[in-house]
Structure 1
Amino acid sequence: MLHDSQHVPKPSLAEILFGWFLRLVSVSCFWFALEYWAMLIGFSHGGAGRFDLLPPQWRAAATALAVVYPVAAIGLWLLVSWGPVVWVVAAGIEIAMYEFYPGIFGTRPLLFVLHGAVAVTFVLFRAVLFFQRLRRARKVRVDSP
């Protein structure tokens, strides 16, 4: 009796660490989502950030982020390809808020550093995984002499 299932290679250390990294970013996205929802329903900031008390710019930005961050958290937690894309959208909105419109939203330079560090780490992980797959593809070939 032959084994009818294909051999699935074990994930490398980089793949395992990349999964843990994405899940850690997912937890932070969920935390950001909870912060925005707490602000919008009046739970934080002493109720001053309630939706009906916010200026229109804050209403648009906080509502968008309160919806986009949980979607990014789910995508990152499930390790699907659209998770990082939605995170980039959320991070882009937040960076635009605090870096390009400081008169309206204030400044949060640490947030810019945090999003930048996550983006650089993501790119480095993807580069390592790309080179690992390239090396693995060169090593095992059916047409090699």
Structure 2
Amino acid sequence: MSETVSGSGAFEPSIVETAFAWFLRLVALYCLFFGVLYWVRLIGFYPGDAWRFDLMPVYWQVAASVLAVFFPFAAAGLWMLASWGPVIWFICAATETVMYAGFPDLFGERWPIVGAHTFVACVYIAFRLVIFWRRRQPAA
């Protein structure tokens, strides 16, 4: 019996796909960490004068509330390797990039966060391209 018919080895992920799964889980931990940080800000354990929800400016209330919910949600999707996980992560990354790069006078400049999101997006795209090209190659 051939491998395809018997099912042995027919659906084993390649090394690249396995590395991609571990990459997504690493990003999931990163998202969970950021989600916890936003919750810490919302409940007031963050050092600073206006870092409790009722003392925050409205623009920070909106941004922190959205990101406190979306980051753990993205972490769950990425950890489960669900197709919607990277989409939710992209929403979080785009939101923070707009906050810190687009409105630095309101949210401050946090270029390391913007750079980290850019790096993760580039690595994600590279993985997806490699997986795409490997699947398009004819079986030898």
Alignment TM-score, normalising by the size of structure 1 = 0.88
Distance in 1 separating the partners of 2:109 and 2:65 = 19
Please, which of 131, 134, 138 is the counterpart of residue 129 of structure 1? 131
Gaps of 5+ in 2: none
d(CA) in 2 for partners of 1:58, 1:50? 10
Structure 1 CA distance for aligned equivalents of residues 52 and 22 of structure 2: 35
1:139 aligns with 139
Shift in Å at residue 9 of structure 1?
3.0
Change (3 A) 1:67 1:37: same
Equivalent positions of 1:1-145 (< 5 A) are: 6-7=7-8, 8-45=10-47, 48-135=50-137, 138-139=138-139
CA distance in 1, matches of 2:34, 2:81: 19
Deviation at 1:90, TM superposition (A): 0.4
Report the count of equivalent residues: 135
Q: CA deviation at 1:42?
A: 0.6
- Greater Rg, structure 1 or structure 2? 1
Report the residue type matching 2:14 in the other structure: S
Q: Matched residues in 1 for 2:117 and 2:111: separation?
A: 10
Contact 1:91 1:115 in 2 (8 A): yes
- The amino acid of 1:30's aligned partner reads L
Deviation at 1:85, TM superposition (A): 0.4
Cα distance in 2, alignment partners of residues 133 and 27 from structure 1: 28
* SS state at 2:11 partner: coil
TM-score by length of 2: 0.91
Residue by residue, what CA displacement relative to the aligned partner does 1:69-89 show, whole Å, maximum 9, x if unpaired? 011000000001100000000
Could you say what the CA RMSD is over the residues aligned between the two structures, in angstroms?
A: 1.5
Aligned partners of 1:39 and 1:47 also within 8 Å: no
Structure 1: gaps of 5 or more residues: 141-145
